[in-house]
Structure 1
Amino acid sequence: MKRIGKVAATAAAVCIAAALPAQAQVLKEFGSFHVGGRQVTLDGYPVTESVFTQGAKPTRVDPNGDFEVEQMYVQYLVPEPTRAKYPLLMWHGGGLTGVTWDTKPDGQPGWMQYFFRQGHPVYVSDAVERGRASWARYPEIFKGPPFFRTKKEAWETFRMGPEGSYSLDPAKRTAYPEGKFPGAYLDQFAKQFVPRWTVNDGPTLAAYNAEIQKVGPAVVMVHSQAGNFGFQAALAAPDKVRAVIAIEPAGAPPPGPALDSLKNIPMLIIWGDNVDKQEIWIRQQPASRAFADDLNARGGKVEWIELPKIGIRGNSHMTMMDTNSDHIAALIQDWMKRNGLMR
């Protein structure tokens, strides 16, 4: 795609700019809300007893009644002055929460702080079933079982090191050459892992759509599992999604006439290093490439960046946690300026 050349030409200048401090921001407003979800009534399940506090008498536990389920949690920070034209909605990947965008495992500020300091109102969500959004009963409401990620899976699938390079002993883990993920902090990163379900894509997308309707016109930044949710949300509300920034999206809508409604929405898709060395990404990357190619052929505005091809090497799947993450954030910030998303 021709758009790659423009990004490559500015990458060095952007990386230099990343080292410069943003103008100080004042926190004008912060808060949170839950959005989406539905009411479910359970009936006919046995009443039991349980001891809630050591030494206390058993308490009657009745699982029957009315519940709110499939809601999503959103925390927001609004800066003063606000330099962005639209709020920035930050959606995390599978088995993770909004902590993805918060302080990095090595203690450095994350992208939530970075973009706040650039003047963006930031809205960071915990999707359905994750973090402060909460679970629902299984199997009465969530029909499938939860899955739990191991540290080995994260180390290899997130491309911190090659297949077979994980060890329980941190000193024996082998990272990729030039790898930018701070491998000494894998164990700290693993504390963020939460259960995920494979049966909740519909409710999750519904909650994201509800967030967009509540917040109004916005830029959506997505990572991994949330990639397809972001593209689908744009299809559902092309009048409100003003841009999509996808960091290694795990999926995308298929090519076809339905994409015509996205022609006027600028999109940025970013991929890191060693994608061709991990089977899951060899399978998944083509979906977003086909989406980008088809949308551009229809007159769309998709920029596709493979970071190694513009001289930025070593990035893992967790780009926002890598040691050069501010440089990638500066690249994104420059893209937003060039696409008229800043004041």
Structure 2
Amino acid sequence: MITLRKTGSFFVGGRRVNVRGQAPYRVTLSSTSTRDYDPNGTYWIEAAYVQYFLQATPRYAVPLVLMHGGGLTGAMWEDTPDGRPGWLQRLLEAGVSVYVVDNVERGRAGFCALDGIWPDRPLSRSDEESAKIYRFGYAGHRFPLDAMQGLSAQTVPRWPGTSALQRQALIDVVRRIGPCALLGFSQGGGLVFDAADAVRDLVRACIALEPHGVPASFDAGLPGTSALVVFGDFIEEDRAWRAHATRASASIDAWNAAGGEGERIDLPALGMRGNTHMMMMDENSDDVLRVVLDWLDRCAGMRLMR
């Protein structure tokens, strides 16, 4: 049973831009509405969207912030592509207060369709690229391929040049929320380490699921903050993922050298075989989440004062 004291949402960050000197043009908005559109004016762009679910009796002293991966949105934490409850549902059932982020140019966040503001072209991920990057081609993988359409449907365009904007947006999110723990996936895994370093006085724990873009070093003086990276199966069989895992391990070493308390968990070492990059959607996604929750339960910064 889930008992929440409050739910809601808000936008964070962004900036104002002014468009001038553009020619109006005719647009058709519906079968009964055609008008001249003037693109000149003032716009607010590059805000992140955050939805929250706060428990009446929380499991932890601070909420957990979920950060999606590249080409995805906060929807990735909801139901799995084959219709099972996703991590958001399971976290709420476990008594965890949760904030779900849609970062800049993703999901319900503010997009920027203005010419010349974002200079690069958006990228879309095909099913074929997804299958390769997500390691769906290995025998024994546990992603429900019969439901691949459900993953394809939630895949959205991404702009390569917005990484710095996304990093700042997550930092702004943490400052808005206050003390919290961060859980990020893939590109989002690198972002949560960046944010945890930038606002280290507010982040009590940091978890990255198969991250890339993780920092190579951290300034000294991390206040014993717990950090975790998690990797699934078939890492050694894939050259790119071997490199990502090596860099993530080096980042954990740097985190510890700066005063933090970090570790890496490889699911096969726990007897959990077949997990892909999309471990929160794999057939054993509940088991993977249990590993994360068990780790959070041990974190000193997460404990409630009774």
Q: Which bracket does the TM-score occupy, shorter chain normalised? A: over 0.9
Per residue, is there more helix in 1 or in 2?
1
- Where in structure 1 do 4 or more consecutive aligned residues deviate above 3 Å? none
Is 2:248 the partner of 1:274?
A: no
Distance 1:213 1:119 in 2: 23
- Please tell me whether residue 122 in structure 1 is matched to residue 98 in structure 2: yes
Q: Residues 238 and 261 of structure 1 are in contact (CA less than 8 Å); yes or no, is this contact kept in structure 2?
A: no
Partner of 1:41: 18
CA RMSD of aligned residues (A): 1.4
Per the TM alignment, residue 122 of structure 1 is displaced from its structure 2 partner at its CA by 0.4
CA contact (8 A) 1:234 1:262 kept: no
SS of corresponding position for 1:58 = strand
Inter-partner Cα distance in structure 1 for 2:169 and 2:228: 23
Q: Following TM superposition, by how much is the alpha carbon of 1:324 offset from its aligned partner in structure 2, in angstroms? A: 0.9
What is residue 262 of structure 1 aligned with on the other side?
A: 222
Secondary structure (helix, strand or coil) at the match of 1:82 reads coil
Q: What's the secondary structure of 1:193's corresponding residue?
A: coil
Counterpart among 240, 264, 274 of residue 314 in structure 1? 274
The gaps in structure 2 that reach 5 residues or longer are: none
1:188 matches 2:150:
yes
Name 1:172's counterpart in structure 2.
none
TM-score by length of 1: 0.85
- CA deviations on 1:231-273 (whole Å, 9 max, x unpaired) are 1111111100110011001121113xx3423351101110001
Verify the 8 A CA contact 1:263 1:295 in the aligned structure 2: no
Q: Which residue in the other structure is 1:242 paired with?
A: 204
The one-letter code of the counterpart of 1:211 is: V
Q: What fraction of aligned residue pairs are identical, expressed as a percent? A: 37
Q: Which has the higher contact order (CA 8 A, sep 6+)?
A: 1
The corresponding residue for 1:142 is 118
> Are the aligned partners of 2:220 and 2:257 in contact in 1 as well (CA < 8 Å)?
no
Alignment partner of 1:342 is 2:303: yes
- SS of the aligned residue for 2:80 comes to coil
- Residue 83 of structure 2: aligned partner: 107
Counterpart-to-counterpart distance in 1, 2:22 and 2:237: 49
Instruction: Give the equivalent residue in structure 2 for 1:284.
Output: 244
- Separation of aligned partners in 2, 1:30 and 1:292: 34
Letter in 1 for 2:58: T
Quote the Cα distance in structure 1 between the aligned partners of 2:259 and 2:177: 28
Q: How many residues align?
A: 303
Q: Does 1:233 align with 2:221?
A: no
**1:51 deviation in Å?**
1.4
CA drift of 1:280 comes to 2.8
In structure 1, distance between residues paired with 2:33 and 2:105:
31
- The amino acid of 1:284's aligned partner reads H
Residues 325/259 of structure 1: CA separation in 2 closer, same or farther (3 Å cut): farther
**TM-score when normalising by structure 2:** 0.95
2:164 corresponds to which letter in structure 1? G
Deviations 1:80-110 (A, max 9, x none): 2212110100000000000111111111111
CA distance in 2, matches of 1:104, 1:293: 33
Cα separation, 2, equivalents of 1:291 and 1:281: 15
In 1, the alpha carbon distance for the partners of 2:191 and 2:115 equals 24
Structure 1 CA distance for aligned equivalents of residues 224 and 114 of structure 2: 42
